[in-house]
Chains A and B, each alone.
Chain A
Amino acid sequence: AAGVIQSPRHLIKEKRETATLKCYPIPRHDTVYWYQQGPGQDPQFLISFYEKMQSDKGSIPDRFSAQQFSDYHSELNMSSLELGDSALYFCASSPGGAIRETQYFGPGTRLLVL
Chain B
Amino acid sequence: GQQLNQSPQSMFIQEGEDVSMNCTSSSIFNTWLWYKQDPGEGPVLLIALYKAGELTSNGRLTAQFGITRKDSFLNISASIPSDVGIYFCAGPLIIQGAQKLVFGQGTRLTINP
Please give the residue numbers on chain A whose beta carbons come within 8 Å of chain B beta carbons, in ascending order: 4, 6, 33, 35, 42-43, 45, 48, 55-58, 88, 90, 92, 98-99, 101-108, 110
Contacts and interface: CB of A to CB of B under 8 A. Distances in A.
Contact of B45 (A43, A102, A110): A102
Nearest to A43: B103
A103 to B, nearest CB: 6
A43 B43 contact: yes
Given A108-B40, A108-B42, A102 B100 contact: no
Interface in B5-61: 30-31, 33, 35, 40-45, 48, 50
Contact count band on B = 20 to 34
A111 B30 CA distance: 33
B35 A105 contact: yes
B99 interface: yes
Q: Name B's interface SS.
A: strand
Given A45-B98, A92-B101, A105-B35, 5 more contacts: A99-B48, A101-B101, A102-B45, A106-B42, A107-B42
A112 to B, nearest CB: 12
Interface string B82-97: 0000001010100001
Nearest to B104: A42
